[in-house]
Structure 1
Amino acid sequence: MDTTLPEPTLYIVKAILILDNDGNRLLSKYYDDQFPTVKEQKEFEKNLFNKTHRANAEIIMFEGLTCVYKSNVDLFFYVIGSSNENELILVSVLHCLYDAISMMLNKNVEKRVLLDNMSGTLLAVDEICDNG
Protein backbone atom coordinates (compact mmCIF):
# COMPACT_ATOMS: atom_id res chain seq x y z
CA MET A 1 0.00 0.00 0.00
CA ASP A 2 1.34 3.39 -1.02
CA THR A 3 1.29 5.81 1.93
CA THR A 4 2.80 8.82 0.19
CA LEU A 5 0.82 12.00 -0.01
CA PRO A 6 -0.37 13.21 -3.40
CA GLU A 7 1.65 15.90 -5.16
CA PRO A 8 0.74 19.42 -4.00
CA THR A 9 -1.54 21.28 -6.37
CA LEU A 10 -3.33 24.58 -6.57
CA TYR A 11 -6.48 22.84 -7.76
CA ILE A 12 -8.31 22.18 -4.52
CA VAL A 13 -12.01 22.43 -5.41
CA LYS A 14 -13.49 19.29 -6.94
CA ALA A 15 -17.04 20.62 -7.33
CA ILE A 16 -19.40 23.49 -6.63
CA LEU A 17 -23.09 22.64 -6.33
CA ILE A 18 -26.32 24.51 -5.73
CA LEU A 19 -29.32 22.28 -5.00
CA ASP A 20 -32.91 23.17 -4.19
CA ASN A 21 -34.69 22.03 -1.03
CA ASP A 22 -35.74 18.78 -2.76
CA GLY A 23 -32.14 17.93 -3.66
CA ASN A 24 -32.57 18.77 -7.34
CA ARG A 25 -29.62 20.26 -9.20
CA LEU A 26 -29.84 23.95 -10.02
CA LEU A 27 -26.16 24.43 -10.76
CA SER A 28 -23.27 22.01 -10.69
CA LYS A 29 -19.69 22.45 -11.78
CA TYR A 30 -17.33 19.49 -11.48
CA TYR A 31 -13.61 20.15 -11.88
CA ASP A 32 -12.20 16.62 -12.03
CA ASP A 33 -13.18 13.26 -13.43
CA GLN A 34 -14.15 11.50 -10.20
CA PHE A 35 -17.77 11.59 -11.40
CA PRO A 36 -17.43 11.40 -15.20
CA THR A 37 -21.08 10.87 -16.12
CA VAL A 38 -24.18 12.91 -15.35
CA LYS A 39 -25.78 9.80 -13.84
CA GLU A 40 -22.90 9.41 -11.34
CA GLN A 41 -22.99 13.13 -10.55
CA LYS A 42 -26.73 13.10 -9.86
CA GLU A 43 -26.42 9.98 -7.70
CA PHE A 44 -23.66 11.67 -5.67
CA GLU A 45 -25.75 14.84 -5.34
CA LYS A 46 -28.81 12.88 -4.21
CA ASN A 47 -26.81 10.97 -1.57
CA LEU A 48 -25.04 14.13 -0.39
CA PHE A 49 -28.32 16.01 -0.05
CA ASN A 50 -29.93 13.13 1.87
CA LYS A 51 -26.98 13.15 4.26
CA THR A 52 -26.90 16.94 4.81
CA HIS A 53 -30.37 18.43 4.44
CA ARG A 54 -31.33 17.85 8.08
CA ALA A 55 -27.91 18.36 9.65
CA ASN A 56 -26.76 21.52 11.40
CA ALA A 57 -23.10 21.01 10.58
CA GLU A 58 -21.15 22.98 8.02
CA ILE A 59 -18.51 20.36 7.16
CA ILE A 60 -18.93 16.66 6.40
CA MET A 61 -16.70 13.87 5.15
CA PHE A 62 -18.70 12.05 2.50
CA GLU A 63 -17.57 9.30 0.11
CA GLY A 64 -13.93 10.19 0.73
CA LEU A 65 -14.47 13.89 0.06
CA THR A 66 -14.57 16.96 2.27
CA CYS A 67 -17.88 18.74 1.71
CA VAL A 68 -18.68 22.16 3.16
CA TYR A 69 -22.20 23.47 2.81
CA LYS A 70 -24.64 26.18 3.72
CA SER A 71 -28.41 26.27 3.43
CA ASN A 72 -30.61 29.30 3.03
CA VAL A 73 -34.40 29.33 2.64
CA ASP A 74 -34.83 26.78 -0.18
CA LEU A 75 -31.24 26.47 -1.46
CA PHE A 76 -28.20 24.40 -0.49
CA PHE A 77 -24.71 25.57 -1.48
CA TYR A 78 -21.87 23.00 -1.53
CA VAL A 79 -18.13 23.24 -2.11
CA ILE A 80 -16.37 19.89 -2.37
CA GLY A 81 -12.67 19.07 -2.07
CA SER A 82 -10.51 16.02 -1.53
CA SER A 83 -10.33 14.28 1.85
CA ASN A 84 -6.96 15.82 2.71
CA GLU A 85 -7.96 19.36 1.74
CA ASN A 86 -7.85 22.30 4.13
CA GLU A 87 -11.42 22.87 5.29
CA LEU A 88 -10.79 26.56 5.94
CA ILE A 89 -9.99 27.18 2.28
CA LEU A 90 -13.12 25.32 1.19
CA VAL A 91 -15.24 27.29 3.68
CA SER A 92 -13.72 30.53 2.34
CA VAL A 93 -14.75 29.54 -1.19
CA LEU A 94 -18.26 28.69 0.07
CA HIS A 95 -18.66 32.03 1.86
CA CYS A 96 -17.31 33.91 -1.15
CA LEU A 97 -19.82 32.13 -3.41
CA TYR A 98 -22.72 32.76 -1.06
CA ASP A 99 -21.81 36.42 -0.45
CA ALA A 100 -21.39 37.11 -4.19
CA ILE A 101 -24.76 35.54 -5.00
CA SER A 102 -26.39 37.33 -2.08
CA MET A 103 -25.13 40.70 -3.33
CA MET A 104 -26.24 39.95 -6.91
CA LEU A 105 -29.71 38.98 -5.70
CA ASN A 106 -30.01 41.96 -3.31
CA LYS A 107 -29.95 39.61 -0.30
CA ASN A 108 -33.01 37.78 -1.64
CA VAL A 109 -31.33 34.37 -1.92
CA GLU A 110 -34.08 31.95 -2.89
CA LYS A 111 -34.72 29.54 -5.74
CA ARG A 112 -37.02 31.65 -7.90
CA VAL A 113 -34.75 34.71 -7.79
CA LEU A 114 -31.65 32.58 -8.38
CA LEU A 115 -33.21 30.97 -11.46
CA ASP A 116 -34.16 34.41 -12.81
CA ASN A 117 -30.51 35.45 -12.44
CA MET A 118 -28.80 32.21 -13.47
CA SER A 119 -26.44 33.85 -15.96
CA GLY A 120 -24.97 36.03 -13.22
CA THR A 121 -24.75 33.04 -10.90
CA LEU A 122 -22.85 31.02 -13.51
CA LEU A 123 -20.51 33.95 -14.05
CA ALA A 124 -19.85 34.21 -10.30
CA VAL A 125 -19.03 30.49 -10.07
CA ASP A 126 -16.71 30.75 -13.07
CA GLU A 127 -14.93 33.78 -11.58
CA ILE A 128 -14.57 32.25 -8.11
CA CYS A 129 -13.10 28.97 -9.26
CA ASP A 130 -11.17 28.46 -12.48
CA ASN A 131 -10.76 24.71 -13.24
CA GLY A 132 -10.75 23.78 -9.58
Structure 2
Amino acid sequence: MAAMDPTLPIVKNLLLLDSEGKRIAVKYYTPEWSTVASQASFEKALWNKTSRTNARAEAEIIMFDNVVVVYKYIGDLMFYVTGSQDENELILYTVLQAFYESVTILLRQQVEKKTVLENLDLVLLAIDEIVDGGIIVETEPAMIASRVTMRGADGEQNAVPITEQTFSKALASAKEHLARSLLK
Protein backbone atom coordinates (compact mmCIF):
# COMPACT_ATOMS: atom_id res chain seq x y z
CA MET A 1 0.00 0.00 0.00
CA ALA A 2 1.39 3.41 -0.94
CA ALA A 3 2.10 5.92 1.79
CA MET A 4 -0.76 8.36 2.23
CA ASP A 5 -0.22 12.12 2.03
CA PRO A 6 0.11 13.30 5.66
CA THR A 7 -1.69 16.54 4.80
CA LEU A 8 -4.76 14.69 3.55
CA PRO A 9 -7.65 14.96 6.02
CA ILE A 10 -8.79 11.53 7.21
CA VAL A 11 -12.13 10.60 8.76
CA LYS A 12 -11.94 7.78 11.30
CA ASN A 13 -15.66 7.01 11.27
CA LEU A 14 -19.16 8.23 10.51
CA LEU A 15 -21.84 7.22 13.00
CA LEU A 16 -25.61 7.53 13.03
CA LEU A 17 -27.09 6.49 16.38
CA ASP A 18 -30.62 6.72 17.71
CA SER A 19 -31.66 8.68 20.80
CA GLU A 20 -30.83 5.67 22.99
CA GLY A 21 -27.33 5.28 21.56
CA LYS A 22 -28.20 2.25 19.44
CA ARG A 23 -26.47 1.81 16.09
CA ILE A 24 -28.44 2.79 12.98
CA ALA A 25 -25.74 3.23 10.31
CA VAL A 26 -22.00 3.31 10.93
CA LYS A 27 -18.83 3.16 8.89
CA TYR A 28 -15.34 2.75 10.37
CA TYR A 29 -12.23 3.51 8.35
CA THR A 30 -9.32 2.90 10.73
CA PRO A 31 -8.04 -0.29 12.36
CA GLU A 32 -8.40 0.73 16.03
CA TRP A 33 -12.04 -0.38 15.93
CA SER A 34 -11.56 -3.58 13.95
CA THR A 35 -14.04 -5.69 15.93
CA VAL A 36 -17.75 -5.22 16.41
CA ALA A 37 -17.21 -5.38 20.18
CA SER A 38 -14.70 -2.50 20.11
CA GLN A 39 -17.03 -0.51 17.86
CA ALA A 40 -20.00 -1.10 20.17
CA SER A 41 -17.92 -0.13 23.18
CA PHE A 42 -16.80 3.10 21.50
CA GLU A 43 -20.34 3.95 20.39
CA LYS A 44 -21.75 3.37 23.88
CA ALA A 45 -19.04 5.44 25.58
CA LEU A 46 -19.40 8.22 23.01
CA TRP A 47 -23.17 8.29 23.38
CA ASN A 48 -22.85 8.37 27.19
CA LYS A 49 -20.48 11.34 26.88
CA THR A 50 -22.58 13.32 24.39
CA SER A 51 -26.21 12.39 25.11
CA ARG A 52 -26.67 15.00 27.81
CA THR A 53 -25.48 17.94 25.72
CA ASN A 54 -27.68 20.04 23.50
CA ALA A 55 -26.21 19.96 19.98
CA ARG A 56 -29.44 20.70 18.15
CA ALA A 57 -28.92 24.30 17.11
CA GLU A 58 -25.22 24.01 16.27
CA ALA A 59 -22.78 21.15 15.99
CA GLU A 60 -20.58 20.44 19.01
CA ILE A 61 -16.91 19.53 18.95
CA ILE A 62 -15.24 17.50 21.70
CA MET A 63 -12.04 15.57 22.26
CA PHE A 64 -12.96 12.04 23.31
CA ASP A 65 -10.76 8.96 23.60
CA ASN A 66 -7.92 10.70 21.71
CA VAL A 67 -10.15 11.55 18.73
CA VAL A 68 -11.88 14.75 17.68
CA VAL A 69 -15.64 14.23 17.56
CA VAL A 70 -18.03 16.58 15.77
CA TYR A 71 -21.68 15.77 16.35
CA LYS A 72 -25.20 17.07 16.01
CA TYR A 73 -28.72 15.86 16.80
CA ILE A 74 -31.61 15.95 14.38
CA GLY A 75 -34.93 14.70 15.70
CA ASP A 76 -34.28 11.38 17.41
CA LEU A 77 -30.95 10.79 15.63
CA MET A 78 -27.36 11.61 16.53
CA PHE A 79 -24.87 12.22 13.71
CA TYR A 80 -21.14 11.87 14.50
CA VAL A 81 -17.92 12.33 12.53
CA THR A 82 -14.53 11.60 14.11
CA GLY A 83 -10.95 12.28 13.14
CA SER A 84 -7.52 12.05 14.72
CA GLN A 85 -6.65 14.48 17.51
CA ASP A 86 -4.68 16.71 15.13
CA GLU A 87 -7.39 16.77 12.43
CA ASN A 88 -8.92 20.09 11.41
CA GLU A 89 -12.29 20.49 13.16
CA LEU A 90 -13.68 22.64 10.35
CA ILE A 91 -13.07 19.88 7.83
CA LEU A 92 -14.79 17.36 10.10
CA TYR A 93 -17.65 19.82 10.58
CA THR A 94 -17.98 20.13 6.79
CA VAL A 95 -18.25 16.33 6.54
CA LEU A 96 -20.89 16.33 9.31
CA GLN A 97 -22.86 19.04 7.46
CA ALA A 98 -22.69 17.03 4.25
CA PHE A 99 -23.76 13.89 6.10
CA TYR A 100 -26.90 15.22 7.75
CA GLU A 101 -27.90 17.65 4.99
CA SER A 102 -27.69 14.94 2.32
CA VAL A 103 -29.74 12.60 4.53
CA THR A 104 -32.26 15.42 5.01
CA ILE A 105 -32.54 15.86 1.23
CA LEU A 106 -32.79 12.12 0.59
CA LEU A 107 -35.49 11.63 3.23
CA ARG A 108 -37.42 14.72 2.08
CA GLN A 109 -37.03 16.54 5.41
CA GLN A 110 -38.38 13.52 7.36
CA VAL A 111 -35.21 12.87 9.39
CA GLU A 112 -36.30 10.46 12.10
CA LYS A 113 -35.35 6.94 13.10
CA LYS A 114 -38.33 5.25 11.42
CA THR A 115 -37.72 6.98 8.07
CA VAL A 116 -33.98 6.30 8.20
CA LEU A 117 -34.58 2.60 8.85
CA GLU A 118 -37.05 2.44 5.96
CA ASN A 119 -34.47 4.09 3.68
CA LEU A 120 -31.29 2.65 5.15
CA ASP A 121 -29.94 1.87 1.68
CA LEU A 122 -30.00 5.58 0.78
CA VAL A 123 -28.27 6.57 4.03
CA LEU A 124 -25.52 3.99 3.57
CA LEU A 125 -25.00 5.07 -0.04
CA ALA A 126 -24.77 8.70 1.11
CA ILE A 127 -22.06 7.72 3.60
CA ASP A 128 -20.16 5.98 0.80
CA GLU A 129 -20.48 9.05 -1.43
CA ILE A 130 -19.08 11.35 1.28
CA VAL A 131 -16.12 9.29 2.51
CA ASP A 132 -14.26 6.45 0.81
CA GLY A 133 -11.74 4.55 2.90
CA GLY A 134 -11.44 7.50 5.29
CA ILE A 135 -10.77 9.99 2.49
CA ILE A 136 -13.32 12.75 1.99
CA VAL A 137 -14.57 12.65 -1.59
CA GLU A 138 -17.66 14.89 -1.61
CA THR A 139 -19.18 17.45 0.76
CA GLU A 140 -21.89 19.07 -1.38
CA PRO A 141 -25.23 17.68 -0.09
CA ALA A 142 -27.15 18.19 -3.34
CA MET A 143 -24.43 16.38 -5.32
CA ILE A 144 -24.37 13.52 -2.80
CA ALA A 145 -28.16 13.16 -2.95
CA SER A 146 -28.17 13.22 -6.75
CA ARG A 147 -25.48 10.54 -6.93
CA VAL A 148 -27.32 8.36 -4.42
CA THR A 149 -30.58 8.61 -6.34
CA MET A 150 -28.75 8.33 -9.69
CA ARG A 151 -30.16 11.62 -10.93
CA GLY A 152 -28.43 14.16 -13.09
CA ALA A 153 -28.11 17.84 -12.29
CA ASP A 154 -31.41 18.50 -14.09
CA GLY A 155 -33.23 16.07 -11.78
CA GLU A 156 -33.99 13.53 -14.49
CA GLN A 157 -33.38 9.86 -13.87
CA ASN A 158 -30.23 8.69 -15.62
CA ALA A 159 -30.51 5.89 -18.13
CA VAL A 160 -30.57 3.11 -15.54
CA PRO A 161 -32.55 0.13 -16.76
CA ILE A 162 -35.56 -0.62 -14.58
CA THR A 163 -34.18 -4.11 -13.94
CA GLU A 164 -31.12 -2.60 -12.22
CA GLN A 165 -33.12 -0.36 -9.91
CA THR A 166 -34.29 -1.46 -6.48
CA PHE A 167 -38.01 -2.07 -6.21
CA SER A 168 -38.53 1.05 -4.08
CA LYS A 169 -36.59 3.23 -6.54
CA ALA A 170 -38.46 1.74 -9.51
CA LEU A 171 -41.79 2.38 -7.75
CA ALA A 172 -40.76 5.96 -6.89
CA SER A 173 -39.65 6.51 -10.48
CA ALA A 174 -42.97 5.21 -11.79
CA LYS A 175 -44.90 7.45 -9.35
CA GLU A 176 -42.91 10.51 -10.41
CA HIS A 177 -43.43 9.70 -14.09
CA LEU A 178 -47.18 9.26 -13.53
CA ALA A 179 -47.40 12.49 -11.54
CA ARG A 180 -45.53 14.41 -14.26
CA SER A 181 -47.78 13.01 -16.98
CA LEU A 182 -50.92 13.91 -14.99
CA LEU A 183 -49.71 17.46 -14.35
CA LYS A 184 -49.04 18.18 -18.05
Alignment-derived partner of residue 123 in structure 1? 125
Structure ranking higher in helix proportion = 2
What 5-or-longer segments of structure 1 have no aligned partner? 1-6
**Cα distance in 2, alignment partners of residues 37 and 56 from structure 1:** 30
What 5-or-longer segments of structure 2 have no aligned partner? 135-184
Q: Is the 8 A contact 2:17 2:24 kept in 1?
A: yes
TM-score under structure 1 normalisation?
0.92
Give the partner amino acid of 1:55: T
**Cα distance in 2, alignment partners of residues 61 and 107 from structure 1:** 30
Map 1:15-94 → 2, pairs under 5 A: 15-56=13-54, 58-94=60-96
SS of structure 1 residue aligned to 2:114: helix
Percentage identity across paired residues of the two chains: 52
TM-score under structure 2 normalisation?
0.67
Q: Is the 8 A contact 1:11 1:131 kept in 2?
A: no
Give the partner amino acid of 1:16: L
Following superposition, the deviation at residue 10 of structure 1 comes to: 2.3
Deviates more, 1:114-123 or 1:51-60: 51-60
Alignment-derived partner of residue 101 in structure 2? 99
Alignment-derived partner of residue 174 in structure 2? none
Structure ranking higher in strand proportion = 1
Following superposition, the deviation at residue 83 of structure 1 comes to: 0.3
Following superposition, the deviation at residue 72 of structure 1 comes to: 1.1
Q: Is the 8 A contact 2:14 2:82 kept in 1?
A: yes
Q: Is the 8 A contact 2:16 2:79 kept in 1?
A: yes
Alignment-derived partner of residue 12 in structure 1? 10
**Cα distance in 2, alignment partners of residues 73 and 97 from structure 1:** 15
Alignment-derived partner of residue 4 in structure 1? none
The structure whose RCO (Cα within 8 Å, separation 6+) is larger is 1
- Spell out structure 1 runs of 4+ moving beyond 3 A: none
Give the partner amino acid of 1:107: Q
Give the partner amino acid of 2:104: S
Question: Between Structure 1 and Structure 2, how many residues are aligned?
Answer: 126
**Cα distance in 1, alignment partners of residues 8 and 118 from structure 2:** 33
RMSD of the TM alignment (CA)?
1.1
CA offsets 1:97-129 (integer angstroms, 9 cap, x no match): 100000011111000000000001111000000
SS of structure 2 residue aligned to 1:68: strand
Q: Is the 8 A contact 2:103 2:123 kept in 1?
A: yes
Alignment-derived partner of residue 3 in structure 1? none
